[in-house]
Amino acid sequence: AVSHIKQVCEVFKTGDNLLVDGVAGLVTLNPKNLTEEKFEKQKRAFRSKWECAKKKSHTIATTKSGKHIRVGANVGCLEDSLMASDNGADCIGLYRLEHIYLKRNTLPSSEELYCALKEAISPFADKSITIRLLDIGADKELDFLDYPIEPNPVVGRRGIRFLLDRRELMSTQIKVLLRLAQQFDIRILVPMVTIAEDILSVICEVEKAATDLGIDKLPPLGAMVETPAAALCINSISQHCNFLSIGTNDLTQYTMAAGRENLSVSEYYLERHPAMLRLLKLIVEESETDDISVCGNLAARTDSLAELVELGISCFSVPPPAIPIVKEEIRNLHS
Ligand code: PEP
Ligand code: MG
């Protein structure tokens, strides 16, 4: 798909012939025969590359120099998990919990959340599953929850900041994840961590919930690195974490000061700008844990894989349809 086309209803009329190139993000209006033929050829080449990659997608991707790289999936529902499993995902690298909430008109009870999640992750019963606590605010809002009115929600009370104000909401999720961790290999991921206190507060909540439930073994806990402050002071955060997941979508937005949904500044939203690459390098070099994955859109960009593997990233989490091609590109790397 291609989105965010300016004045789309005026530019395109019913009956127009369109070529939609979702890989390049290009739409050609009423193409000439030659363009159409070239496009068809490109489409066939892409399909055959994809089918070839799919055949090998259930084995781990190893670079030519022997580095094993895990490719996980970003999912939000059972359909995503099924496609991810079919496409050979090595794990669920990011389960976005908000999708369960966004489909409803009321908050789910603990039992409803438990059942919905258990079903959605069932295709990954024997693999690692990283579930992110509810990340709402800014671009993801729930109509049935009271929000503080804020002048600038993107830099407001979103992600973990919101959950720290709504402890009962966080504690329900944590208890559900602790229960699921009795049967699945669950890891808990905290969104929008900016300062070490964010993660320390979640550790307290997890310990409290475990005591309430009489559970001794706690699942690994990790932080999303998606603010420049978290990246620049990663040692203070990572010393309390078992793993990190770099959210390049938000990290790009905050580093480049360009809203991820704001078309008018899209030329500044540069996921591979040197400022981003320096932050990624710093995260890898200064983190106390070497369990670091990238789960933003950058992970699915095949033009970035070599650079990221070179930096030391050994796990990528990408949308389910991208898994076979990302694995194939990794196999072709000399890093
Ligand atoms: C990110 O910010 O890169 C990320 C993966 O989280 P989301 O896109 O859900 O904000
Ligand atoms: Mg994010």
Task: Compute the distance from residue 320 Cα to the ligand 2 centre, in Å.
Answer: 18
Cα dist from 309 to 68, 70, 71, 93, 281, whole Å: 10, 11, 12, 17, 11
CA atoms of 249 and 91, how far apart (whole Å): 20
Q: Rounded mean pLDDT of the chain?
A: 95
Crossing angle between the packed helical segments 78-86 and 110-121, to the nearest 10 degrees: 20
Supply 333's token pair. Answer: 């790397």
Contacts of 249 (CB under 8 A, 6+ apart): 226, 260, 296, 297
Measure Cα distances from 122 to 81, 90, 119, 264 in Å.
8, 14, 5, 41
Protein residues near ligand 2, an ion, with CB under 5 A:
226, 247, 250
Q: Are 332 and 56 spatial neighbours (Cβ–Cβ below 8 Å)? A: no
Distance from the alpha carbon of residue 65 to the mean position of ligand 2, in angstroms: 32
Residue 132 in contact with ligand 1 by CB distance below 6 A: no
Predicted confidence at residue 95, as pLDDT, reads 98
- Considering every ligand atom, which ligand is closest to the CA of 74? 1
**Ligand 1 contact, 53 CB (< 6 A):** no
DSSP string, 156-218: SS-THHHHHH-HHHHHHHHHHHHHHTTTSEEEEEEEEE-SHHHHHHHHHHHHHHHHHHT--PP
Gap from CA of 215 to ligand 1 centroid (Å) = 30
Q: Which amino acid is at 99?
A: H
pLDDT 10s digits, 33-79:
999 999 999 999 999 999 999 999 999 999 999 999 999 999 999 99
Task: Return d(Cα 91, Cα 210) in angstroms, integer.
Answer: 25
pTM score: 0.94
What is the spatial distance between Cα 310 and Cα 29, in angstroms, rounded to a whole number?
40
Is the pLDDT score of 83 beyond 90? yes
Rounded Cα–Cα distance for residues 13 and 21 (Å): 18
96 lines ligand 1 (CB under 6 A): yes
Burial of 134 (0-12, 13-18, 19+ CB in 10 A): buried
CA 226–ligand 2 middle distance (angstroms): 6
The burial of 243, by beta-carbon neighbours within 10 Å (0-12 exposed, 13-18 middle, 19 or more buried), is given as buried
Q: 249 CB under 6 A from ligand 1?
A: yes
Q: 């040197």: which residue's tokens?
A: 274
Residue range 247-291, pLDDT digits in tens: 999 999 999 999 998 989 999 999 999 999 999 999 999 999 999
With bands split at pLDDT 50, 70 and 90, how would you rate the model's confidence at 1?
A: confident
Cα(53) to centroid(ligand 1), Å = 26
The string of pLDDT tens digits covering residues 220-231 is 999 999 999 999
Pocket test for ligand 1, best of 95, 101, 249, 298 (most atoms within 8 A of CB): 249
Percent of the chain at pLDDT > 90 equals 90
Confidence class for position 315, pLDDT limits 50, 70, 90: very high
